[in-house]
Chains A and B, each alone.
Chain A
Amino acid sequence: MAKYVIIGNSAAGVACVEGIRSVDREGSITLLSSEPYHTYSRPLISYLLEGKTDEERMKYRPDDFYEKNGVDARLGVRVTEIDPSEKTVTLDSGEKIPYGKLMHAAGSVPFVPKIEGMETVEKKVTFLSLDDAKALADALTPESRVLILGAGLIGLKCAEGILSRAGSITVVDLADRVLPSILDETGAGIVQAHLEMHGLSFRLSDTVQRFEGNRAVLKSGETLEFDVLVVAVGVRPSVSLIENAGGAVRRGVATDETGRTSLPDVFAAGDCAESYDISSGQSRVLALLPNAYFQGHAAGVTMAGGREELKKAIPMNAIGFMGLHILTAGSYTGETYVSRDGENYKILFYESDLLRGFILIGNVARAGIYTALIRERTPLSGIDFALICEKPQLMAFTAQARRDLLSKRQ
């Protein structure tokens, strides 16, 4: 009987369980997690602080998930070593657990840059885990002046989450715009103005040169007083277990389309692993929950002897701030179609008869029709491109294509 061991208890780990169980109901599954919690939705920690969810509702799967799936969940244990020749993992207690197939879904860790005087900051947190969110909640008072390092997805979601719990929020980023990884200049301008309208302050193209206790001295020379520091400059894939075991690692763990690493019977998925992005033609870490699920599921099915591949991975992000939704996908290359009306912004990127990417802000209705064009590599010459530019709609397809979509079982 196959013995599966899964390191990680978030989207990729859970997807791996569900993938395995779609093929093999019998094999034993042991799931190891350094966090002591039932699986929870990591991206919901900002919503938790905002009061839009609670610890009960933010569980990623129901309470009976492990039991129903025959999973021996060992929560609150840390894996210190993978031995691919003995096929064991070692826990911090010294215990060795044998595996037949191993999933490494260890996620990522916050990157904390070395900044002079960082150790003198009294209250500082990162923002990736439930414990981080709890620590931040504890550190805040309604008067707190919060300094957030990083205007990316994590920093800004954090800002939204604590907006009503803090006195003031200032965000510093070396980039010249907010959300630089997913927005162009125009889109970033719209989002920044929206956030400023809700009380956030920004110091862009700037960075903290040194901390002196609760004072940050910026490169520009400005000095900012603060009470709580949130470090949200980015994350690093957790790759050391694989690396130390001799597995191939680039920025993230190198995997094939089934999640297989270079080590025999060892798979990897989620934020620690790379995927092949079909919109750019490059292998890269796609640190986003849907991809973690797709990859973890494909690997789980494969581990259990079935067949499933991650074939259509692309970057995609759904994020929003104070009612303003932002949906983006794909790569931003090629010719563009742009429309703008107040906070509503759309830019489509296309080349070689394919939609490559898009940014939608404000009116994001039915964006999945665009996403599917990218993922399926639908030739634009076969659809009504003018209609597609106007809005995502099935009218842009041929009558036959619509029949296939709406009159057939999907």
Chain B
Amino acid sequence: MKRVYVDEKWCLGCHLCEYYCAFANSGRSSMVKALKNRKIHPRIRIEGDNQISFAVSCRHCTDPICVKSCIAGALSVEEGVVRIDEEKCVGCETCVLVCPYGALMPSESGVMQKCELCIENAGGKPACVAGCPNKAIIFEERA
């Protein structure tokens, strides 16, 4: 299965992935309407300082501890993709407590959100990957 991988060697720390993510998940057709003058809630986040930076999003672990830990049964694995049912989530943040990557965070509404590899939008090709200007974020199959 294809997953998102990042290489900090190539990351410019430009945060464009965050904007592409927020836009892809906004449900809006215009990037300006989706992002301008809004606080964005991307599912991928840049971490780092002036020297080192890298993007962090869900790793779609083969044995995901968040899914096993979810008290609401809101997280599940569908064909390898760790997905969240925002209707079932109550925002208890148990997934925040257990994810070793810090990859889940609250959405605007308080329930949790996470990267779902853009399977519901952007035609199944992660928008962060397509938008990264330096190929620091890659979508491919690795053993």
Q: Give the B-binding residues of A (Cβ under 8 A).
A: 11, 15, 41, 43-44, 47, 52-53, 57-61, 289-290, 293-294, 297, 316-320, 325, 327, 329, 364-369, 371-372, 376, 392-395, 399, 402-403, 405-410
Contacts and interface: CB of A to CB of B under 8 A. Distances in A.
B72 A293 contact: no
Interface in B21-58: 47-49, 52, 54, 56
Interface in B78-101: 87-88, 90-101
Given A329-B97, A407-B5, A44 B102 contact: no
A58 B94 contact: no
Contact of B102 (A59, A325, A376, A394): A394
B56 A394 contact: yes
B72 A372 contact: no
Interface residues of B, number: 39
Nearest to A58: B72
A369 B73 contact: no
A368 B101 contact: yes
A294 B99 CA distance: 15
A365 B5 contact: no
If over half of B's interface residues share one DSSP class (helix, strand or loop), that class is named, otherwise mixed; here it is: loop
Interface in B2-19: 3, 5-8
Nearest to B98: A368
A319 to B, nearest CB: 7
Contact of A52 (B60, B90, B99): B90
Interface of B: 3, 5-8, 47-49, 52, 54, 56, 59-62, 65, 68-69, 71-73, 87-88, 90-102, 105, 142-143
Given A41-B72, A44-B72, A406 B54 contact: yes
B99 A368 contact: yes
A44 B98 contact: no
Contacts of B47: 393-395
Contacts of B142: 408-409
Centre residue among B6, B88, B92, B143 by max chain A CB count within 10 A: B92
8 contacts: A61-B73, A289-B94, A290-B98, A316-B97, A365-B105, A368-B96, A399-B52, A406-B56
B97 A409 contact: no
